[in-house]
């Protein structure tokens, strides 16, 4: 028989990243800009609301619903170029928030190795929802902490 009190317990490790799902594109009145709702895949299921431009919100919504358009949208063109140059998007990361604007990165892999490209969250999300293979969308833990600490559980505002 062993005494459980003498067995050291592993420390709880908080991941610096949360995997999120692109949950929906929503119009929140009286604003005239849509917001993209990102929801954590696992507990505590926090949400992040990222305001985007009207065109970007439409691109994201079309991609989420797999709606075809008469001609390719700019994000479709960009994905085609990446594919032809053998570059894949490995992840989308929401890495920061400055004031009311969020900052994102595309983590890519190609013939020249791994490259990280800073971009608008709306562009990164639009690309992620339009690909054939799922691309993980990650939010830095400190982004959630800073947004929730500011008292705005839905997000920071601004247009990204």
How far is the CA of 8 from the CAs of 4, 5, 11, in angstroms? 9, 8, 9
Please give the chain's pLDDT, 160 residues, in tens.
555 566 666 565 567 999 999 999 999 788 888 999 999 999 899 999 999 999 999 999 999 999 988 988 899 999 999 999 999 999 999 999 988 899 999 999 999 999 999 999 999 999 999 998 899 999 999 999 988 876 665 554 455 6
**What integer pLDDT is reported at residue 12 of this predicted model?**
57
**What integer pLDDT is reported at residue 64 of this predicted model?**
94
**What integer pLDDT is reported at residue 149 of this predicted model?**
78
**What integer pLDDT is reported at residue 28 of this predicted model?**
79
Cα 75 to chain center, whole Å?
Answer: 15
Kindly report the number of other CB atoms within 10 A of residue 50's CB atom. Answer: 29
**What integer pLDDT is reported at residue 157 of this predicted model?**
47
Report pTM: 0.84
> Which DSSP helix (H) or strand (E) runs through 61?
helix 54-64
Residue 26's DSSP bridge partners are: 35
Residue bearing tokens 């998007």: 89
> Which DSSP helix (H) or strand (E) runs through 141?
helix 141-149
Residue bearing tokens 């690909």: 131
């Amino acid at each position: 028989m062993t005494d459980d009190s003498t067995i050291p317990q592993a420390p709880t490790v908080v991941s610096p990243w949360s995997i999120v799902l692109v949950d929906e594109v929503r119009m929140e009145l009286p604003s005239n800009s849509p917001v993209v709702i990102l929801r954590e895949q696992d507990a505590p299921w926090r949400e992040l609301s990222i305001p985007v431009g009207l065109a970007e919100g439409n691109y994201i919504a079309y991609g989420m619903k797999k709606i075809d358009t008469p001609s390719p949208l700019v994000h479709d063109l960009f994905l085609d170029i990446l594919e032809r140059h053998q570059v894949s998007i490995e992840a989308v990361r929401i890495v920061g928030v400055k004031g009311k604007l969020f900052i994102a990165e595309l983590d890519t892999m190609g013939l020249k190795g791994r490259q990280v490209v800073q971009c608008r969250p709306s562009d990164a999300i639009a690309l992620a929802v339009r690909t054939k293979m799922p691309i993980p969308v990650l939010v830095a833990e400190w982004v959630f902490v800073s947004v929730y600490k500011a008292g705005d559980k839905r997000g920071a505002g601004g247009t990204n």
